[in-house]
A and B are shown apart, each in its own frame.
Chain A
Amino acid sequence: MHHSQHISAGEQAVALHDKVQALLAEKLGSALLRSQIDFEFPVFIVEKQHIYECLQLLKEEASMKFDFLTTMCGAHFPEAGEAEFMMMYQLHNLQANDRIRVKTFMSAQDLELPTATTLWPAANWMEREAFDFYGFKFKGHPDLRRILNMEEMDYHPLRKQYALEDASRDDKKDLYFGR
């Protein structure tokens, strides 16, 4: 953290991005779809078929060592067709204090992903949460059950088609608020 006094956070993010991008491009080739920097955070978008390979590489490659899984979460973009669902992994190299984000996109028909529990036991409940709320199926997960919602629930509530408001209420229409 001390070098941050000389190099700005933005410059650090660019340097980190370039380093990781070079490795992923070399090892994964075209499976690294694109990369960008979002608010000083390097982000790498990887093809789903290669996501496990990518995570393993980032964790184990001597020059990378992103061996701490900060968090994982899903997201739903109903209009996005082939990229309707997103799974995000946020990794941290604690020694160098570098953080990156890896994302993969998939269609609603193809929500199967390899589990990351074999890399990080911490992924267990994160994947159960992503399954619970979005319906991602993590292949190889030791115990893929719902975690926060009740087992009897028959839908995945964070998907965008499930409105939060009670549909029978008519006092909260956007129309009344000029929206």
Chain B
Amino acid sequence: MSNITKSEKGLGVAVETVEQKDYSILNLGPTHPATHGIFQNVLTMDGEIIVDAKPTIGYIHRAFEKLAERRPYNQITPITDRLNYCSSPINNMGWHMTVERLIGCEVPKRAQYLRVIIMELSRIADHIVCDTVIAVDTGAMTGFLYLFQWREKIYEIFEEICGARLTTNIGRIGGMDKEFTEKAWAKLHAFMAEYPKALSEFQALVERNRIFMDRTVNCGPISAEMALAYSFTGPNLRAAGVDYDVRVMNPYSSYQDFDFNVPVGTSGDTYDRFMVRMAEMWESMKIIQQAIKNLPDGPIHADVPEFFLPAKEDVYSKMEALIYHFKIVMGETDVPKGEVYHAVEGGNGELGFYLISDGGRTPYRLHMRRPCFIYYQAYPEMIKGAMLSDAILTMSSMNVIAGELDA
């Protein structure tokens, strides 16, 4: 490390340059089949050992925070789809709840429970992607093939609920746009009945597998102190042993009504991150079961006509409905002034929306706290001294999603 010197460049910023010749430089990414997304890391290698890593991000930056300043509130939901696109519905709900907090809207219990069902399905879909891909990166393709089709079944449920699969734009400000269809319920019940078997099978294949454990135990570990210093949240923080979960600490959408555990790990390595997600899928199943069993009757949206599109037949026959329809579609709804922060437990951590409203039709400022943007900066620290193959596993176990990272 003594060969690394600092030089002045550009904005008076110290840029490290490696002068020693026997280190080799390896470009991992921007596009590499093993990084599952657009991530570039310039690795300084001493043989097969990683000495340093310089991540470059922003390859799919789409200026969401700027875009949000020009869009009416309901048109921002599709932007949130494209953050962590492995669990879009959680992002959608997080945004709806942020606006609901600003406009002081109490969502009916039934809608809250329906939202919980959707959000927990999303969490399962998100964890399926992450955990099966960890297995793939250790060479275990079989588990991936077995379990990945269940993500497809979840997407089919979403499709029945809202018509979309990946970028869902699900629900509305004020509640849900419609009841689950009969087909959606049938698919949900089928999923609830059959998924545990598939998950158990996958778990049995991988969990105590000698090769899998050799590859993942003590691979890319992070201590609880370090994880907190780097503002880790979600499964990555819990794998390090900190039981922070937004659903428990700041319950939203009636999460306080549900009985579930917050699984934690001890060493914060790839194996623990994998295991925490496995356990969370079981907890999500428990939550969905309770939500289905205790689903209250009643309306599925609050009485907020300025935000919630009226029924089409009313638009054609009632003056008020026509006015509100027009106001919403043209984005002419004024909102209260104020600043709110609302966070949800996303697939990979605390997804927060910090919204400044000046009372106009669009947000004055919208900042999204994107969990993987914050924790990915610890990646170089986590892979220093490791082998290249461990760096690949560490990255996939951190569940870094390019859409969320780059916003």
Contacts and interface: CB of A to CB of B under 8 A. Distances in A.
Given A75-B356, A120-B229, 10 more contacts: A90-B352, A94-B228, A101-B341, A125-B376, A147-B57, A149-B58, A150-B58, A151-B10, A164-B67, A164-B70
Contacts of B369: 70-71, 90
- Name the residue among A68, A97, A142, A145 with the largest chain B CB count within 10 angstroms: A68
A73 interface: yes
A143 B248 contact: no
A38 B340 contact: yes
Interface in B9-38: 10-11, 13-15
A122 B229 contact: yes
11 contacts: A1-B251, A38-B338, A70-B343, A88-B367, A94-B228, A94-B242, A120-B229, A120-B230, A121-B229, A150-B58, A151-B10
Contact of A142 (B14, B230, B343): B14
Contacts of B230: 120-122
B155 interface: no
Nearest to A123: B231
Interface string A98-139: 010100000000000000000011101110010001000000
Contact of A69 (B65, B231, B248, B352): B231
B231 A68 contact: yes
A94 B244 contact: yes
Q: Closest 8 CB pairs between A and B? A: A122-B231, A148-B58, A73-B367, A71-B369, A148-B61, A164-B70, A125-B377, A38-B339
Contact of A148 (B57, B350, B378): B57
A133 B338 CA distance: 22
Contacts of A97: 249-250
A41 B342 CA distance: 10
B373 interface: yes
Interface in B82-123: 101-102
Contacts of B350: 70
Interface string A140-157: 011111111111000001
A24 interface: no
B10 to A, nearest CB: 8
Given A39-B339, A70-B352, A157 B406 contact: no
Given A125-B373, A125-B377, A144-B13, A157 B66 contact: yes
A41 B341 contact: yes
A interface, over-half SS: loop
A1 to B, nearest CB: 6
B260 interface: no
A165 interface: yes
Contacts of A16: none
B75 to A, nearest CB: 13
B92 to A, nearest CB: 20
A179 B340 CA distance: 26
Nearest to A119: B229
Interface in B384-407: 406-407
A58 to B, nearest CB: 15
Q: Which interface class (under 10, 10 to 19, 20 to 34, 35 or more) fits A? A: 35 or more
A158 interface: yes
Contacts of A70: 231, 343, 350, 352, 369
B330 interface: yes
B11 A90 contact: no
B63 interface: yes
A71 B343 CA distance: 11
B232 to A, nearest CB: 8
A122 B15 CA distance: 19
Contacts of B250: 1, 97
A155 to B, nearest CB: 12
Contacts of A122: 229-231, 374, 377
Find the residue from A43, A70, A142 having the highest chain B CB count within 10 A.
A70
Contacts of A133: 65
A84 B352 CA distance: 25
B215 interface: no
Contacts of A150: 58
Nearest to A126: B374
Nearest to B232: A122
B102 A39 contact: yes
A142 B12 CA distance: 10
B58 A147 contact: yes
Contacts of B65: 133, 158
A125 B365 contact: no
B354 interface: yes
Nearest to A103: B339
B374 A121 contact: no
Interface string A43-64: 1000000000000000000000
